[in-house]
Amino acid sequence: MLNIRNLHKQFGSHEVLRGIDLTVNQGDVVVILGPSGSGKTTLLRSINFLEPADSGTIELDGETFEIAKATKQDIQGIRKHTGFVFQNYNLFANKTAEQNITEGLIYGLGLSKNVAKTIAQDVLEKVGLREFAHHYPSQLSGGQQQRVGIARAIAAEPKVLLFDEPTSALDPELVGDILAIMKSLAKAGKTMVVVTHEMGFAKEVASEVVFMDGGVIVEQGRPEEIFEFPKEERTQQFLARILGDFVRA
Least distance (Å) from other proteins to the CB of residue 247?
34
Which residue, 27 or 108, has its beta carbon nearer to other proteins? Answer: 108
Least distance (Å) from other proteins to the CB of residue 73?
11
Which residue, 170 or 217, has its beta carbon nearer to other proteins? Answer: 170
Using CB under 8 A, list all residues that contact other proteins. 48, 50, 76, 79-80, 82-84, 86, 88-95, 103-104, 107-109, 131, 134-136, 138-139, 152
How far is 17 from 215, CA to CA, in rounded Å? Answer: 4
Least distance (Å) from other proteins to the CB of residue 233?
36
* DSSP type of residue 165: S
The H-assigned helical ranges of 82-220 are 97-103, 113-126, 142-154, 172-187, 199-205
Which residue, 31 or 161, has its beta carbon nearer to other proteins? Answer: 161
First and final C-alpha spacing in the chain:
38
Which residue, 31 or 97, has its beta carbon nearer to other proteins? Answer: 97
- DSSP-assigned letters across all residues of 1-45: -EEEEEEEEEETTEEEEEEEEEEE-TT-EEEEE--TTSSHHHHHH
Least distance (Å) from other proteins to the CB of residue 3?
21
